[in-house]
Amino acid sequence: MQTWDVVVVGAGVCGLTVAQNLQERGRSVLLLDKGSRPGGRLSSRPLDGRLLNPSVDTVRSHDPEVTQEIMHRTGARFTPVTEGRADGAFDQPAGDIAKRWAAGTTLRSTFVTHLVVQESGLIHVVPHGSGAPFAGRAVVLTAPVPQSVKILRGSGLLVAPELHEVTYDKRAVLLCVVDGGAQGDLPGHLVGRSTPDGVIEAVRVRHRDDAGQLWLEVFASPQWTEATWEADATFARAALLFELIRLLPGAPVVDSELKRWRYANAVESVPDATFSRRADQPGIFVAGDGFGRLHGHPSGVSRAVRSGLDVARALT
């Protein structure tokens, strides 16, 4: 069995930041992710024959080191807005940005269920409950904090009390393809548009092909998302489609898929730390966008990068 210096669970923004910085310092790093593509929220998703990029377009940062890291890894362009704050825009779709960020890393697609700390101090990362483990001298859990807590609990390991306080917004998002060929000005009218009754908060156009088909990202409002979270997904999707049709009379929907983002954005974080590492578990780290003061790093991407940079520093 190969032993890695560090096994990183989760190939989102934080995991990619940890892996790239540790590799540049000569460490061997294995990235594990349950998805088929890197990037977490930056990853692409197939819909009607096209990879859709339902993710962030811009990043807000108050942290010069975070800004520099994002620019270095992704080619994003940051523009100063006010003193101490900059907004950045990606120059490619998020899925392509994630591939660029992951370039050169060792990434394997698998679902991690628990950890086993060996008497030697090595940590075995176990996939699928009983699969062949991956061995690391240290492990960094970068999934949304509630998921990392479940991995720790399932491993019989102590969980820092502050991790139980981290909570996230839920958000229902409808990805759909609309035949907008007869409505040439449709994209400009749609961006940011909402329904009067507050069901749909905003609509973003993600792609338009030569035939006039539009790939849309439809955000349900937080209130509607919460009220329908336990409802049958088929009926929830139908309800959002009916609301969208009200916005787009005469434009037929070709394909659609409902996504329920359980961890859309952290609303309660661990404010006084950028990662967690208990003295009785010094080889196991919990990191990600659930750490850091929300007003200090208003973007989940910037919090995740800050956390990743600090974990990489602690491991070298």
Provide the domain count of the chain. Answer: 2
Cα-flanking dihedrals φ and ψ of residue 136, to 5°? Answer: -140, 150
Q: Indicate left, alpha or beta for 251 from its phi (over 0: left) and psi (-120 to 50: alpha).
A: beta
218 is written with which tokens? 């439809």
65 and 137 inside one domain:
yes
112 and 155 inside one domain:
yes
Distances (CA, A) of 228 to 116, 196, 222, 268: 38, 18, 10, 22
9 and 87 inside one domain:
yes
**CA angle, 13 as apex, 99 and 91 as ends, to 5°?**
50
What confidence tens digit (pLDDT) does each residue in 166-207 have? 999 999 999 998 886 645 445 444 555 566 678 998 888 877
210 and 139 inside one domain:
no
213 is written with which tokens? 């088909």
162 and 248 inside one domain:
no
CATH number at residue 104: 3.50.50.60
Give the range among 196-210, 238-252, 265-279 with minimum mean pLDDT: 196-210
Q: Which residue, chain included where needed, has tokens 């930041």?
A: 17
107 is written with which tokens? 């990434």
For the chain, helix, strand, coil in percent to 5 are 30, 35, 35
> pLDDT at residue 315 above 60?
yes
Give the range among 29-43, 149-163, 264-278 with minimum mean pLDDT: 29-43
Q: Which pairing describes strands 3-9 and 29-33: parallel, antiparallel, or unpaired?
A: parallel
Candidates 221, 266, 208; CA nearest to 50 is 208
The answer to whether residues 140 and 311 touch, using CB atoms and an 8 Å cutoff, is yes
Q: Is 307 helix (H, G, I), strand (E, B) or coil?
A: helix
Give the range among 80-94, 238-252, 301-315 with minimum mean pLDDT: 80-94
52 and 74 inside one domain:
yes
What confidence tens digit (pLDDT) does each residue in 23-64 have? 999 999 999 999 878 888 777 677 776 666 666 667 888 899
Give the range among 89-93, 102-106, 271-275 with minimum mean pLDDT: 89-93
> pLDDT at residue 250 above 80?
no
d(CA 17, CA 285): 14
**Residue 192: per-residue pLDDT:** 56
CATH number at residue 219: 3.90.660.10
The answer to whether residues 163 and 286 touch, using CB atoms and an 8 Å cutoff, is yes
Return the sign of the alpha-carbon dihedral for residues 257, 262, 266, 268: positive
**Residue 196: per-residue pLDDT:** 61
d(CA 213, CA 177): 7
Length of the chain: 316
**Residue 180: per-residue pLDDT:** 67
Give me the mean pLDDT over the 275-303 stretch: 92
152 and 288 inside one domain:
yes
226: exposed, middle or buried (C-beta count within 10 Å: 0-12, 13-18, 19+)?
middle
- The reported pTM is 0.90
149 is written with which tokens? 């807590």
274 and 291 inside one domain:
yes
Q: Where are the beta strands (DSSP E) in 142-223?
A: 167-179, 200-208, 213-220
Candidates 28, 27, 56; CA nearest to 42 is 56
Task: Calculate what percentage of the chain has a pLDDT beyond 70.
Answer: 91
**Residue 154: per-residue pLDDT:** 96
Q: Which residue, chain included where needed, has tokens 């960094």?
A: 140
More confident of the two residues 261 and 93: 261
14 and 50 inside one domain:
yes
Q: Which residue, chain included where needed, has tokens 């329908």?
A: 228
**Residue 203: per-residue pLDDT:** 87
Average pLDDT, the chain: 88
Return the sign of the alpha-carbon dihedral for residues 285, 290, 293, 299: positive
The answer to whether residues 121 and 30 touch, using CB atoms and an 8 Å cutoff, is no
98 and 186 inside one domain:
no
**Residue 184: per-residue pLDDT:** 46
51 and 159 inside one domain:
yes
**Residue 197: per-residue pLDDT:** 72
Q: Is 225 helix (H, G, I), strand (E, B) or coil?
A: helix
Q: Which long-range contacts (CB under 8 A, 24 or more apart) does 82-86 make?
A: 85/60, 85/61, 86/60, 86/61, 86/62
> pLDDT at residue 296 above 90?
no
221 and 160 inside one domain:
no
Q: What's the domain range around 77?
A: 3-166+269-314
